Structure formats: structure tokens, C-alpha cells
Structure 1
Amino acid sequence: MNRYLMKIYKNRLLSLTITRSLTTSRRLENIPYTSDRYPHLKRGDFAILQDYDIEAFKKILTNSGQILSSKDEDLSGYNTDWLKTVRGKSDLVLRPKSAEEISKILGYCNERKIAVSVQGGNTGLVGGSVPVFDEVILSTERMNRIINFDAFSGVLTCESGCILEKLDEYAREFDYIIPYDLGAKGSCQIGGNVSTNAGGLRLLRYGSLHGSILGLEAVLANGEIIDCLSTLRKDNTGYDLKQLFIGSEGNLGVVTKVSILCAKQPKSVNVALLGCPDYKSVLETLDVAKGKLGEILSAFEYMDSTAMEMVRQNLGLQCPLDKYPFYCLIETSGSNASHDEEKLNTFLNNALDGGFAADGVLATEPSKVNSLWQLRERIADRGSSPKASMAYDFSLSVRLFDELTQILRRRLGNLVSSVSGFGHLGDGNIHLTVELEWENSKEVQELLEPFIFEWVAEKKGSISAEHGLGTQKNKHINLSKSKTAVDLMERLKDHMDPKGILNPYKTLP
């Protein structure tokens, strides 16, 4: 272990007190309807749900608990997004258990022109996973079967409702891991991950879902089942149709099965948390890490002091370091512990001797590695906070991350409690969370949007790195995509869903 960090680690213990419950002060009436928050959205020319429609769904879904109605159930959990910032007005949730049932549901909805809101684990942050008006909610939560795992090739095939963390636990039994990791892994579903092209914490090492998803099955708006469930790494026969559905946010079809190329479980995992005196030092630390750690560098995350304070206040987690303006969380993973330790020590010595990092802790035991990761993974978790929050993610030059955060702090001033910056520095993805009082939500949103999107576009960034567009950003898609590209997307949508029933009001303007 690095000589500088050994003493530090012995003198500090990590506290992991986690609070998950919402306080009663966060009442449903505080959460604006999606249609009120985004008044440019108008209800489409869709059918209004009738009693005979529900009877038709009952004939398709015959098992108990597959249909939830607002007449009998509280559907607020399905109508409200994870951040508790928007909510829909759906009176019906359908929970099919197979692609065949989804096929029948969508066939009926397409014939009747009933709008459908497709929902996985409902952990989205741009309003894409909840209805805007009275769309029928189609939840994949009951489609949670692991179909097959090939322990030689590392290909796992499963239904779309499988929880990401459960899939990873299953793969680890065979000495593999799912090659992406999200803060919401305990509740997000693989179908939702695929449909939003979720990036996650280790894209730096394993790349995006476009590379690790080998195949998928999806149901189109008319009920037709598209079987592209290949388990081959190479298949150069015609168009790669699965790519259409990755990142389409349920707008082109409902993903029902996926095949994933898993990665071998690393034998040696180390995590270091470093405190940096300024943002320039953060960038210098990243540069040194890329040079000294090379192939074993699996994640490089950064957090500013405001983000760390949010974790402490909302969740009771304690940082093992003193307060610094910035923090870097660096993970290495490899197959040779002594080799990895040597490279990591060289990097840490360079970072500390060079003054880029002023302090740090190193964790090698799984429990302590997990404790350090909690500080980063759970920043967006509101815990017991009664305040409202707004979340944004962008792809941007890493040199501009802190500049954008500071601009927003000046622009929003005393209207908000805090503006925190954090994210995947290793792949150029910044996350911003604004915490505020509920009564200031509308005024703050007007100051943020479209200003923040236009600023990012002016700097040649993308208005969405990994959260998708949903209802929050869809009307600003032209800031990141050319007119011809958006026109082609719209033509694809019109061809694959001519009546527009799948996830209306989202993704496309």
C-alpha cells in the first residue's frame, strides 16, 4: 500500500448509515403534473380508456396482479418519476409476463389508438418512464426470468424486467460480471438500461451498451415481435436492427429480451478516493491516471464538495477525508494483484508528490471498496430530504465541467439550496443536481431551461450523455442533432409506429 495512504486509511473509518425512506413532507401534491411542468405538451388524438378496454386486457392478462387500476390501487408509484419531479395521470397499469402478452396488448392498443407509456424500473431522470397524460402504463417488472447463461462465451440471455444488480450477482457465480454498473442498479431493469443506452460507472473500461448487447427481442406498436436475439459477437448480415432499439426510449418498440456479452470478473479491485485542492488538480490527476494506470483503469469519477455534502446531509454517509473542494474516485481492476498494486502505487506517489492530490484513502477489501463507491453512486439519492431536485447530464469537454457548475451557481443564486457537480470524468460525462424548495421550482426551471442546453450546445457538447431525452429535453434535440438526422428519426418513428401510441410526447419533438 502507498506509504502516504497507509496512515490515512488506519486513522479513518467509513460510516455507512443509509436512509431510504421519503419524509411525509414530500407529499404527492407537491409534485407537478408532467403536463403542467412542460405546458408545450398537448394531449394527442388518442382514445379515452373505456370499461370494455379493461375487459379486453383482462382476457389477455389472466393471472392475478397483472392489472392494476386506480379504482382499486394507489398508482402514484407508477405515475411519479424517481426524482419526484413530475407525475402522470394514468388510471391503469398492465404487468405482462411474456412477449406474447405484450404483443396482444399492443395489437389491441394500436387498433383502438390507446397511448402506452412503457416503464421498466422507473429510475429515469428525464421524465421518460412515466406517463404525461392518461396513457396506459405497460410495466415489464414481471418479466424477470434469466433464460440462459453460457459460461464459456460469457453470454447471458434474459428477459427485460431483470434487475441489473440481480443479473450481476448471477453472473458472478460463474466468475463473470455485467459490464456496466449504475447507481440505481438495485432497482433499474436491463430493458430500461438498453432502451435508454445507460452509460454507467465503467464505460471507460467496458464501453457502451451498443457494443455489449449482442441481440434483443422487441415488440412493435402493432404487436409484431421482432426477433434479433443473437448471441454471436459477429454477424454481418444486413442491417443491425437491434441498434435501432438501443437508446430509443421505448419509442420504437418494447424490448422484451436481451443477450449480453459479460466480462470476466476481475481478480484484483482497488479503489482510491483523493482530495484535490482545485479543479486544475482534478484534470492533472486524470491525466496522470491515464498514463500510469493504463489498461487497469476501470473508472475515474469526480465530485465537488457540494456533492459530497449532499451525500452527508441526505443519507448520513461520511467521507473518510477532510473537506476538499474536489474529490476523485479512481478504480482499478485486473487479473494480477501485485502488478496492479505496483502500478497503483506509482500513480498515487505521482499524484501526491506532484501536489495534484492533497490527501487520500485506498481500499482493497470488498466492504471498504463498496463504502467508497457509495459516496459517489448515491449522490442523486434524495434519501430523507424534503426538498425538490432537478438533475441534468451532459457530454462536454472535461475542461468545462467546473465552469458550467459555477455559471449555474451564479445564475440561480439564492433561489436554490445547492448546485452540485459530479460525474464520469473519464468519459466526459458531467452530472448536475440542483436542490431547491418546492415553491421555487417553476422559476428555477425557467432560468435553467433552455439556457443550460444552449450553453452546452454552444460548447459543442451533447445535451444528453446517458439519461436520454424523455420529456425534459426532447424539444431541444436539434441542439445536438442535425435537422436531417432528426427528420430521419421522425420518418423511422412514423414507419414503425404510424399511430404514435408508443411513449408519446417523449424523445422526439
Structure 2
Amino acid sequence: MKRVCTRQFRNLTRLRSFGEVREKISRSINHVCLSRRSFHGSACRLGELELTSVRYPHVQRGKYATLTEKDVDFFQKLLPQRVLQDPSELDGYNIDWMRTVRGNSQMVLRPKTTSEVAEILKYCNERHLAVVPQGGNTGLVGGSVPVFDEIVISTQLMNQIISLDEVSGIVVCQSGCILETLDNYLAERELMMPLDLGAKGSCHIGGNVSTNAGGLRLLRYGSLHGSVLGVEAVLASGEIVDCLSSLRKDNTGYDLKQLFIGSEGTLGMVTSVSILCPRRPKAVNVAFLGVENFEAALQTFQLCKGMLAEILSACEFMDQESMQCIQENLKLTNPIKSYPLYILIETSGSHGSHDEEKLNAFLEAAMGKGIVQDGTIAMDVTQRQNIWGLRERIAEGLLHDGYNYKYDISLPLPKLYEIVEDMRQRLGSKVTRVVSYGHLGDGNLHFNVTTPEYNKEVLGLIEPYIYEWTSQVRGSVSAEHGLGFKKRDCIRYSKEPNAVKMMVKMKKLFDPNGILNPYKTIPL
């Protein structure tokens, strides 16, 4: 990217080498996901983590059967060498990535095909054995791990790309494909996944679909409700529902695939998906900006929407406390001066000089109006990844504080930062830090509080206050993480009673014995 006259941008800094930043910020933006090896490596710490059934004694185990030797024999014959029972192998499947909930499953099943999943669920349904579908286990609300002793059905080995139509850009794959692997495969064909997450190096596309993951570029590419063209899923009875269409238009009857998108494995287990993938942009620019307050952040977003329009692919924000967290805990370096709020803007298009010209005009206008105070623009791919790493690694940095109370809410944009300021006053010195960051482009706030260890008093100050606050401004208690186990009973803050009743009826229709991911999403 050519050098831009500093007189145009006043104190806007363009880094050519990124110097210390390149050295201190990891080249990989996927550290936000810990591997299962990390779980095993910290077994002593994980062994001290309370079981979910102990920490949440109000949740009672359902009337499900327990595993017998006969059950084990059946599964071992169905899945030779693909049944895990060694306690040393089970920790990574029983504990969530946040290390806040811990199940006690005695068995993990690893099917390779839809027919094997069908056999598993048919048998479990007849025996009343509860199950938990699990992908990369990167969820943040306890939805992908057992609460008690449910059997884990892992999609790790269901990782085949079935087909790709390069003309239409439609890929069909099994649910266990890792998001980043899919994106790399598509990149070779000048396509891309419409979804991008900090957890992309570990999360599975089936889990993304089952939770309707939002991600970093929803502003440009929309939600999975629009990108997913077809789904194959297995019901609790073992029946296979094949809605794996690759058509963009099919106006026949009910759109059943939509029921499985975002249902978190409570209605059926997704085994394959068909996804519409956009063309990969030829030109990508990333700017990292500093602003004095949230009003300036909103003005910046409004200005970039108008001036960048069709090339705007992401508009993220993080506050000063987020930056302090990754500086202190991950030793990352802020490439600009310290500001109360930071904004990350990404553009993507097909014509580099055109896009650069538009971005330059936007930055000149933003600084001319005094909205943006400082900033830097990435000069190459590595620098773009490094800047994105500042935003994507906040969740990892928070883990170093101890216990993380994590909230994912959707609010009207003018109210987005009010809850943060309110909660800082409410919690005061009782907590280590209050951090917020998220997707300015779609009103999604990631609100986090940390303490050295789990503190019931702090939790009582946060909940249900944050949910009541969100409900009063007609927001949503879950913008993209789902409800899982932790937020299941909070659904009523965002959905009216008749809607919840209808969901309960649907659950009973699809899963009358309640074996699919029990204790999750749907309130009892």
C-alpha cells in the first residue's frame, strides 16, 4: 500500500514493518481456542474444577438410564476402536473451553457416517440414554459438554468435504469439518466461508450451524440462516432428515432446515451441511483506530457505513480495559496510543486501488471531523492478522485472570456501552476487571467480568440484573453464543411466554424422551 501524506491524516500512523508489534503479537490468530492437549496438560487444575452437578445443585438429573456392560458392547461393535472410556482421554470432552462447567460422561463415541449416528441415537432412544452432540467444544455457554453422565457423540471423525460446485460456490460437507480447514480449502478455489470466528482453528461447522454462530463478518455476509442452503440431521429416534439441498430457491413446504440452525442439538444432530460461499475478496484493508468515547465510536460507524458501503466487511470495537487485559496477560503491544475505545474496520473488495481510495477518503473525513484521534493501517497480510489478533485474543487473555463471567447480549446501538458503565459502578472493587468488546456493526456486545476464582456474591450482582437491564431496552440475552446450559432459564427475558411454550412443544415432538442434549436451551 502506498504511503499517504501525513498532512491528510494528521496523526494517523501507517506502519511499514510493524517492528515490535510483529514480534510480540502472535502470527496465529487462533490461540483463542485451546486444544484438547491443553486440557490434558493441566489435568491437576481441571481435576479441581467442581462438577456442574455440584456447582448447580438446583439442576436434577433426569430419569435416564445409566451405562451397562451390554451398552458398551453394542457401541464397541458398532464403532470398533472409536469408543473412548479411558478417564485420561475424557477430560477434554467433559470440560468446556472456559473451564466453568464440568460433566461426568463415562463414554465418548466417534462416528464417521450419518448411518452410524442414526444407529447410535436409535439405540440410545430405546434405552433412554441421554446424549450430548459435540463438535470442537469451543462453546461459551456450556452447551457442548455433559451436565451429568450423558454420552458424548463427537463429530471429530465426520470431517469429509463431500462436494463443491465452483460455479455456484456451494460446498457440501460433514458436520465435523473444522471451519478454518474449510476456509483454506475454499481459498485455493478463490472462495471463502461466509463465517469467521476467533475459534475457527478448532470449531466444527456442525457446531457453528447448531448454534447459529454469528462471527466477525455478519455485517457483510449475514447469518447462517441465510448462508446455509441445506442440512442433514438425525432425530432422537434415529430417523434421518435429509434436507441437504444445494438450491438457492426452493419454495416447497416448511423450511425444515431452519429448525436445526440454532437449536443447539436439542431437536436433532446435524451431520452434514450445504453452504453458499462468497467469492474471496482480492483486496483487503484493515484499520485500527482510537476514539475518545462511545459517541465517537457510533459516529465513526455511521460515517464508515456511508462512505465505505459495499466494501465494508467488519466494524469491531474493544475498550481500554480489553487492551489492558491482552497487554498484561498476553504481553501484546498496542500499535497506537492508549484511548478509551478502539475500532477495527475491515474492507474487502475486488479492486485494490479503488478500495484504498475509499478508505483514505473515510479516514480523512473521520479525522477531519475530530471523531477519530489516532490509528494505523495494516500494510500486509501478517499485519492484518496481527491487528485482528488484538481483537480475537481478548477471550484468551481473560482466562488468565481466573474465573470469567461471560455475557453475549444484543442491544440497540445507542445503549450498547451504557450497560458497561453501569456494571462497572455496580461491581466496583469486588472484581478484577470489567471488559467489553464486540461487533459494532450488528449491536452485539461481549461483556465480561473476571475474578480470581468463582465468586457467588459477584454472580448475584451480575445476574439477573444484566438480563433485566437487557430486557428493558428490548435487547436479547444471547446475540450469537446461544443459551446452552448456563443461559437456558434466561430465554424468557427475550421471548414471550407463548413463544417459549411453542418451543417446548417442538422439543417434545422431535425428542419425546428428551435424550438430545438435555438441560440445555429449553427451560423445564
Post-superposition CA distance 1:319-346 (Å, at most 9, x none): 2011111000000001111111111011
Once the two structures are superposed, residues 288-317 of structure 1 have per-residue CA deviations (whole angstroms, 9 ceiling, x without a partner) of: 111111111000000001111112222222
Q: Which residue of 2 aligns with 1:435?
A: 450
Describe the superposition over 1:101-154 as per-residue Cα deviations: whole angstroms up to 9, x where unpaired. 110000000000000011110000011011000101111111001111111110
**Aligned residue in 2 for 1:215:** 230
TM-score, structure 1 as length reference: 0.96
Distance 1:384 1:507, change over 3 A: closer
Residues 89 and 24 of structure 1, relative CA distance in 2, 3 Å threshold: closer
Q: Specify the SS of the correspondent of 2:307.
A: helix
| Aligned AA (1:484) | N
Secondary structure of the residue aligned to 2:230 is: strand
Secondary structure (helix, strand or coil) at the match of 1:504 reads coil
Could you tell me which residue of structure 2 aligns to residue 460 of structure 1?
Answer: 474
Q: Are positions 1:139 and 2:139 aligned together?
A: no
Question: Do the aligned residues in 2 keep the contact of 1:119 with 1:129 (CA within 8 Å)?
Answer: yes
- Once the two structures are TM-superposed, the CA of residue 266 in structure 1 deviates from its matched residue by 0.4
- Name the residue aligned to 2:510: 496
Do structure 1's residue 204 and structure 2's residue 219 form an aligned pair?
Answer: yes
Measure, in 2, the Cα distance between the counterparts of 1:91 and 1:310: 37
C-alpha contact (below 8 Å) 1:25/1:386 kept by paired residues: no
Matched pairs, number:
505
**What is the CA–CA distance in structure 1 between the aligned matches of 2:4 and 2:307, rounded to whole Å?**
15
Moved more, 291-300 or 356-365: 356-365
Q: Please report the TM-score for the alignment, with normalisation by the length of structure 2.
A: 0.93
Equivalent residue for 2:490, pick from 456, 473, 476: 476
Q: CA deviation at 1:177?
A: 0.4
Query: Percent of aligned positions with the same letter in both sequences?
Result: 53
3-state secondary structure, aligned to 1:149: strand
Q: Is the contact between residue 25 and residue 389 of structure 2 (CA under 8 Å) also seen in structure 1?
A: no
Given candidates 189, 198, 206, the residue that maps to 1:174 is 189
- Where does the alignment leave 5 or more consecutive residues of structure 2 unmatched? none
User: Would you say the 8 A contact 2:16–2:379 is kept in 1?
Assistant: no
Matched with 2:61 is 43
- Counterpart of 1:163 in structure 2 is 178
Which of residues 430, 439, 444 is equivalent to 2:458? 444
Question: 1:341 maps to which residue?
Answer: 356
- 8 Å contact kept, 1:269–1:364: no
Does 405-414 or 450-459 show the bigger shift?
405-414
Contact 2:325 2:398 in 1 (8 A): no
Cα deviation, 1:451-507, whole Å, max 9, x if unaligned, reads 111110111000000000011111111111111111111111101100000000000
What stretches of structure 1 of length at least 5 have no aligned partner? none
Q: Which amino acid aligns with 1:393?
A: D
Structure 2 counterpart of 1:33: 51
1:10 CA displacement = 4.4
- Residue 385 (str. 1) matches residue 403 (str. 2): no
Q: Does 1:56 align with 2:74?
A: yes
Q: Offset at 1:6?
A: 6.8
State the one-letter code of the partner of 1:443: E
Task: Provide the aligned C-alpha RMSD in A.
Answer: 1.7
Q: Alignment partner for residue 113 of structure 1, among 128, 137, 143? A: 128
Shift in Å, 1:408:
1.5
Compared CA separation, residues 457 and 2, structure 1 to 2 (3 A): farther
CA contact (8 A) 2:286 2:346 kept: yes
How far apart are 1:401 and its partner, in Å?
2.0
Q: AA paired with 2:320?
A: S
For 1:346-385, list aligned pairs within 5 A: 346-382=361-397, 385=400
Aligned-partner residue type, residue 212 of structure 2: N
- Asked if 1:232 is matched to 2:247, the reply is yes
| Paired residues of 1:217 and 1:257 also in contact (CA < 8 A) | yes
**Aligned twin of 1:305:** 320
TM-aligned CA distance change 1:366 to 1:461, over 3 Å: same
The corresponding residue for 2:261 is: 246
In the alignment, the residues of structure 2 paired with residue 26 and residue 55 of structure 1 have an alpha-carbon distance, to the nearest angstrom, of 31
AA aligned to 1:46 is: Y
2:437 is equivalent to residue 419 of structure 1: no
Once structures 1 and 2 are overlaid, which stretch shifts more, 419-428 or 311-320? 311-320
Do the aligned residues in 2 keep the contact of 1:301 with 1:426 (CA within 8 Å)?
yes
Contact 1:292-1:347 within 8 A present in 2 as well: yes
In structure 2, distance between residues paired with 1:26 and 1:334: 49
* 1:9 CA displacement: 2.1
Shift of 1:25: 10
Matched residue, 1:68: 84
Task: Give CA deviations for 1:343-379 in whole Å, capped at 9, x if unaligned.
Answer: 1011101111111111000114111111111111111
Between 140-149 and 396-405, the greater mean CA deviation after superposition? 396-405
The whole-number CA distance in structure 2 between the counterparts of 1:328 and 1:460 is 25
AA partner of residue 270 (structure 1): N
Opposite residue 461 of structure 1, the aligned amino acid is G
Aligned to 1:311, the other structure's residue is in SS state helix
* C-alpha contact (below 8 Å) 1:104/1:223 kept by paired residues: yes
